[in-house]
Every structure is written in structure tokens, then in C-alpha cells.
Amino acid sequence: MEDHLTTYSEQLNCKGIRPSYQRVRILAYLHQAQVHPTVEDIFTALSPEIPTLSKATVYNTLHTFVEAGLVRDVNIDIDAQHYDIILEDHGHFKCSSCGKIYNFHLDLDQLTIDGLKEFKIHKKDVYFSGLCPDCQSKTNST
Amino acid sequence: MEDHLTTYSEQLNCKGIRPSYQRVRILAYLHQAQVHPTVEDIFTALSPEIPTLSKATVYNTLHTFVEAGLVRDVNIDIDAQHYDIILEDHGHFKCSSCGKIYNFHLDLDQLTIDGLKEFKIHKKDVYFSGLCPDCQSKTNST
DNA sequence: GTTCCTGCAAAAGCTTTGCAGAAGA
DNA sequence: TCTTCTGCAAAGCTTTTGCAGGAAC
């Protein structure tokens, strides 16, 4: 565990980000959780172990990470911003029933749009929504 | 003009929505503007002509329209929800410099994802961002 | 006349900001 | 030591909610 934290610390150094305890722990959480946590999720998860942790710090840290390209922001949910540690090309599916966000494989390079030749594209987001398999079976059985 | 309003009124009736003056005017604005207005935009545009208009009514109306399938909500902007009267398949590009939102042609049916066979997909959103041609030339000339 | 809608104000929720104290280099 | 970060509280924004009066049918 401590080894991992050291690795995260180095990862932050490489990006020119001061590896404070809070930042290392937040980065570690993002890697472990492998979900798409919100600021609230991260705060709730780490708060018991880091009692002095402030929500403002979580906001600051995530902004820093996004700017450094360490994480990706996921705007699929209008209620709150989600964050994703997986940087490879993929799309996001949000179940409108349970709210869970799934990844799906998607080659974004295949998404070349003729009408955007004059545009400089920095970010491509593909968001689907509907019902996940779990929620479909729940609905059918009622 | 009055003719158009009558048409919008009928359009609302078809969907089982009571064609109140406010609703008709908001629907008319969405058709005319052909941009991707926010609640604020709509309120600011109509407020001078409808002095008693309330922002809550604009919110209510847009929710009703989205539910009825008359407009599409565009979540590309984290600051505020945008609304789109164009229902045909297309993607959205947001310029991170000027904030303008552009439509681009995109056949969403071509976006079939193997990994989502078990999922029931209701909505597909494709959001790109970067620099629009106008903002690129501004940046280059400096 | 009954139902549904509007408008106002207040409240709720996410996010940002300002500043003093603390931690990192 | 000097810079940068953290934590707290307050403020800012968008959006939602409750309720009385008004419009639509």
C-alpha cells in the first residue's frame, strides 16, 4: 500500500504537481475505486481516514488533475461532475434508473466528421443513456 | 407571426400540452433562434415582451418540452443546460474559447457498440470541444 | 367549476472564492 | 524562508419547490 502511494507521489512529481498527502490519497482513490466518482463520493470515502479533509481541497485537486491530464471529467450527469481515471478512448453509458455509469469500448479516431475539418478538436465525449441490464430485468420481473 | 403562433399552439395540443401564451412564445423562440439557448437566454430574450414572465415558468416549460420530445437537452456545458429544437441526429461542438455551440452532421445509427448489446439505449449524445475556426484565426493573428 | 399553470420568493445543491494558517521545497 | 496548498466559511449560480392567484378548458 505504501508502495503504491510512493508511485502516485512520483506520478504527481512527473506532472509538476506537488505530491501533498491529500493529492496522493485522492489519486490513489481514483485508481482503486475504478468507478466514476463525484467530488462528494471522494470526500465521503476519504473523510473518515482524513478527518481534516476539506471538500474545497477535493475540488482543487480534481481541477489540477484534469488540467494535468491525469483524469478525465465526465459530464454525463447533470447533477454533479464525475471523474474518470481511465484515459484510453471509451464512451460512457449512464443508466437512468440506477444512475450507474458504465464504460464501453469506442475508437474515437473512427469518429471523424467531415463538417468539422476547420475545427480544432481537443476533446471527444460520447455519452449514452438508457437502462442497464440489471435494471431491465428488475423492470421485467415486476 | 400570429400564424406561426397558431401553428405552435397546435403542435402543443398534439402533444397533450396546454398551449398557454408562455409556452407558445418559448416554443416560438426556440424555433426562431436556432441556437442552443439556456434558460437564462430564453428568459432574457422574452422578458422585455412578457414582463411578468418568471424563470420558474421557463424551467417548467422546458422540462415539459423535453419530456414530450419537442426539444432535446444539451449537456455539453457544465455551467448551464442548453436546449435544442433540432431533433434529427447530430452532434454538438462547443468552442472552449467563445463558448459557441455548433451542430455537426452525424449518423448515430452508425454508432453501434458491441459491448452494449444488453443495454437499452434511449439517448445518444456526442459532444466535441476545442477551437472553432473563428477563434483559431483570432489566436493565430495575435 | 375544475383542473392545471404561472409567478414570486425561498430553499436546495454543486461549485467557487477569500483568507489565515499549515505544509512542502 | 518562501512558495504553494489546505481548510473553513461564506458567497455565487443554476435549478427546484411551495403556495396563492390566475388562466385554460
Closest nucleotide C1' to the C-alpha of A40 = C14
Residue B111 touches chain A, beta carbons under 8 Å: yes
Residues of chain B neighbouring A124 (CB-CB closer than 8 A): 126-128
**Which residues span the domain enclosing A109?**
88-141
Minimum Cα–Cα distance from B129: chain A residue: A123
Q: Please indicate, yes or no, whether residues B51 and B117 belong to a single structural domain of this protein.
A: no
Q: Please indicate, yes or no, whether residues B114 and B49 belong to a single structural domain of this protein.
A: no
Residue B17, helix vs strand vs coil: coil
Q: Please indicate, yes or no, whether residues B46 and B111 belong to a single structural domain of this protein.
A: no
Residue A113 to residue B121, Cβ atoms within 8 A: no
Q: Which three cell numbers stand for residue A118?
A: 476547420
Q: Please indicate, yes or no, whether residues A40 and A7 belong to a single structural domain of this protein.
A: yes
CA dihedral A14, A19, A23, A24 (to 10 degrees): 80
- Looking up residue A13, the CATH number of its domain turns out to be 1.10.10.10
Residue B76 to residue A75, Cβ atoms within 8 A: yes
Number of domains forming the structure of chain A: 2
Residue B38 DSSP code: B
Per-residue pLDDT of chain B (142 residues; tens, 9 = 90+): 456 778 999 999 999 999 999 999 999 999 998 889 999 999 999 999 999 999 999 999 999 999 999 999 999 999 999 999 999 999 999 999 999 999 999 988 888 898 999 999 999 999 999 999 999 998 765 4
Residue B119 to residue A126, Cβ atoms within 8 A: no
Closest CA to A83 of B67, A91, A75, A100: A75
Rounded to a whole number of angstroms, the CA Rg of chain A reads 17
B68 in Cβ contact with B30 (< 8 Å): no
